[in-house]
């Protein structure tokens, strides 16, 4: 039976592309009748049961999982070695197992906590045994240094040989146990902020609403119609050249995309973020460490043939990878990046009306904010990120609401997630344009990013030697500053005029070379 870590990797944190409005009765109906896993595929960004992040996991023992048994039984478990290890605090999990269990349930994860605890116990016992045997082997080795009767020496040689064989077997078992423990434990989702509502999409809490829906005194067009009349996109040619959900941007839409990206980068840089462009092809292990599953069923991730590389679905991935396997100085924190990249998503499993036009596409431009900080500060930076988003979107004149997403919608990496849903009058509903997640130590434990606290004078010992403080795991956060297609939907639909033109928001005009509106072209 293959292990399936449902929800162990959120598909994409920064954009929940399948938001179905709470008010839609049809979605409620489907929520109730379909099994949860199918729900996930259709209505959240979490795909249907995903395969574990490793190629194969075959467990030949039937449930209940590994019992407290002699070491020999563990060799029945065929475990493929994890490609990388996360720095998981097993002891903490054991000491807080009730809270972890509740969290797993609230998140609707099928991580197997019982198994993790059992494996951990087994591993500790096995470690002790290995230590003991090593000790005995050392004793034997020491004894053999002295003067001995030949018979005695022979006995010791025998003993030493037996110990060595036993040790080899136990050490192999220990490796397998550690591997299986890793695989199971990596499925455990992040903890949850105490204020996060428990439940599904219906339970998400409104944090804040900005503005109100514009009142139109003429018939409202959706972005597809506006795009056609203003000659701004071509989906048909793209369907031939590439497939559905691809598009060309044309004319003023090109300029508008560049203005959006340029303005967003400029605004976020003003707030102390370092601008970046990133690789869009990355190793699949980096994708996994950020909490996504390149090889899962209904994966959102495109893979490159004959390689271990994938296309990124968000700049969160290559930015998270920058400080992979390293220790940063505390004085360097917080590290604040604003990254521009193209993003690629298979959108496998996404279907229905929430996919028309620019609303759901395979390729798009996005500006992403990413913060690495000290543990105590991540809540504060989460507030900072959502504030930046609020500033950006309100200065563009959009009407939107900010939601505190419920536990069922968080995905494995997020401790807390705020989604921004903007009013799209042509689609007659709110659509997600942004997402801000505090991933605390989930990604950093996998990416191996730590910081060394600065020494304080009080830790200097008597001899004048400063104590090197133990390193700590950083916290990471990410937030969408601008997802271009959804922003285009908002701008076109909200700022359309009766004469068929679209007015460009004032903050963008310096970046459009002064162009103030998009006008219908005479044909």
Catalytic residues: 345, 360, 432, 435, 486
Using CB under 8 A, which of 325, 383, 428, 455 touches another protein? 325
Per CB under 8 A, contacts with another protein among 169-228 are: none
Using CB under 8 A, which of 251, 394, 459, 497 touches another protein? 251
DSSP H helices, 435-497, are: 442-447, 484-494
Q: How far is the CB of 307 from another protein (least distance, A)?
A: 8
Indicate the DSSP class of residue 8: S
Two tokens at 381? Answer: 């930076």
Q: Is 346 helix (H, G, I), strand (E, B) or coil?
A: coil
Question: CB-based burial of residue 154 (10 Å sphere; 0-12 exposed, 13-18 middle, 19+ buried)?
Answer: exposed
Using CB under 8 A, which of 129, 136, 171, 280 touches another protein? 280
Residue 266, interface with another protein (CB under 8 A)?
yes
Q: How far is Cα 484 from Cα 359, in angstroms, rounded to an integer?
A: 10
Per CB under 8 A, contacts with another protein among 406-435 are: none
Residue 240, interface with another protein (CB under 8 A)?
yes
3-state secondary structure string, 193-209? CCCCCCCCHHHCEEEEE
Task: Compute φ and ψ for 49, nearest 5 degrees.
Answer: -40, 125
Contacts 24+ apart (CB under 8 A), 234-239: 235/357
Q: Is 523 helix (H, G, I), strand (E, B) or coil?
A: coil
Q: How far is Cα 53 from Cα 352, in angstroms, rounded to an integer?
A: 28
Using CB under 8 A, which of 222, 257, 368, 493 touches another protein? 257
Using CB under 8 A, which of 262, 355, 375, 471 touches another protein? 262
Between 106 and 278, name the residue whose CB sits nearer to another protein: 278
Residue 89, interface with another protein (CB under 8 A)?
no
Q: How far is the CB of 355 from another protein (least distance, A)?
A: 17
Q: How far is Cα 228 from Cα 93, in angstroms, rounded to an integer?
A: 55
Q: How far is the CB of 6 from another protein (least distance, A)?
A: 22
Residue 344, interface with another protein (CB under 8 A)?
yes
Residue 279, interface with another protein (CB under 8 A)?
yes
Two tokens at 414? Answer: 């997020």
Using CB under 8 A, which of 55, 274, 460, 467 touches another protein? 274
Q: How far is Cα 114 from Cα 120, in angstroms, rounded to an integer?
A: 10
Q: How far is the CB of 17 from another protein (least distance, A)?
A: 17
Residue 305, interface with another protein (CB under 8 A)?
yes
Q: Give the side-chain half-sphere CA count within 13 A for 501.
A: 11
Stretch that binds another protein, among 52-60, 198-206, 317-325, 418-426 (CB under 8 A): 317-325
Stretch that binds another protein, among 10-18, 162-170, 213-221, 315-323 (CB under 8 A): 315-323
Residues 431, 222: contact at Cβ < 8 Å? no
Between 219 and 513, name the residue whose CB sits nearer to another protein: 513
Residues 11, 114: contact at Cβ < 8 Å? no
Q: Give the side-chain half-sphere CA count within 13 A for 252.
A: 25
Distance of CA 344 to the CA centre of its chain: 15
Residue 255, interface with another protein (CB under 8 A)?
yes
Q: How far is the CB of 475 from another protein (least distance, A)?
A: 20
Using CB under 8 A, which of 114, 121, 234, 391 touches another protein? 234
The contact set with another protein (CB under 8 A) reads 234, 237-238, 240-243, 246-251, 254-255, 257-258, 261-262, 265-266, 274-283, 286, 302-306, 309, 311, 318, 321-325, 340, 342, 344, 362-363, 513
């Amino acid at each position: 039976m293959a292990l399936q870590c449902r929800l162990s990797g959120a598909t994409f944190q920064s954009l929940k592309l399948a938001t179905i409005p709470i008010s839609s009765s049809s979605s409620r109906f489907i929520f109730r009748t379909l099994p949860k896993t199918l729900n996930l595929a259709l209505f959240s960004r979490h795909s249907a049961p995903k395969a574990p992040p490793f190629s194969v996991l075959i467990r030949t023992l039937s449930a209940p999982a590994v019992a407290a048994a002699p070491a020999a039984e563990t060799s029945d478990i065929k475990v493929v070695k994890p490609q990388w290890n996360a720095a998981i605090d097993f002891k903490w999990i054991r000491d807080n197992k009730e809270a972890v269990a509740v969290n797993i349930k609230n998140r609707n994860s099928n991580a197997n906590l019982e198994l993790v605890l059992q494996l951990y116990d087994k591993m500790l016992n096995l470690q002790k045994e290995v230590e003991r045997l090593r000790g005995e082997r050392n004793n034997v080795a020491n004894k053999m240094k002295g003067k001995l009767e030949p018979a005695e020496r022979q006995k010791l040689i025998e003993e030493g040989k037996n110990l060595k064989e036993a040790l080899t077997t136990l050490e192999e078992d220990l490796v397998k146990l550690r591997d299986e423990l890793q695989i199971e434990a990596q499925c455990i989702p992040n903890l949850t902020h105490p204020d996060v509502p428990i439940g599904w999409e219906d339970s998400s809490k409104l944090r804040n609403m900005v503005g109100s829906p514009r009142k139109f005194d003429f018939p409202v067009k959706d972005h597809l119609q506006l795009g056609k009349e203003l000659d701004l996109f071509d989906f048909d040619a793209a369907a031939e050249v590439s497939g559905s959900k691809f598009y060309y941007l044309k004319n003023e839409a090109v300029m508008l995309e560049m203005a959006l990206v340029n303005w967003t980068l400029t605004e976020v840089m003003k707030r102390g973020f370092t601008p970046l462009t990133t690789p869009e092809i990355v190793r699949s292990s980096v994708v996994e460490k950020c909490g996504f599953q390149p090889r899962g069923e209904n994966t959102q991730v495109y893979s490159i043939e004959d390689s271990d590389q994938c296309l990124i679905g968000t700049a969160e991935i290559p930015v998270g990878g920058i400080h992979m396997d390293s220790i940063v100085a505390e004085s360097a924190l917080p590290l604040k990046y604003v990254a521009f990249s193209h993003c690629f998503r298979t959108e496998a499993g996404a279907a229905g009306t929430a996919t028309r036009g620019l609303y759901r596409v395979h390729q798009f431009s996005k500006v992403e904010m990413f913060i690495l900080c000290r543990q105590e500060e991540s809540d504060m930076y989460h507030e900072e990120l959502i504030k930046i988003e609020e500033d950006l979107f309100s200065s563009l004149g959009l009407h939107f609401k900010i939601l505190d997403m419920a536990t069922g919608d968080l995905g494995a990496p997020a401790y807390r997630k705020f989604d921004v849903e903007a009013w799209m009058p042509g689609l007659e509903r709110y659509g997600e344009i942004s997402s801000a997640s505090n991933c605390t130590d989930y990604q950093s434990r996998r990416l191996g990013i730590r910081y060394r606290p600065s020494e304080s004078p009080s830790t200097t010992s008597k001899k004048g030697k400063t104590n090197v403080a133990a390193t700590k795991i950083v916290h990471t956060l990410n937030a969408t500053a601008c997802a271009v297609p959804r922003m285009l939907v908002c701008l076109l639909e909200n700022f359309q005029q009766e004469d068929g033109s679209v007015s460009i928001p004032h903050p963008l005009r310096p970046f459009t070379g002064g162009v103030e509106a998009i006008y219908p072209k005479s044909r």
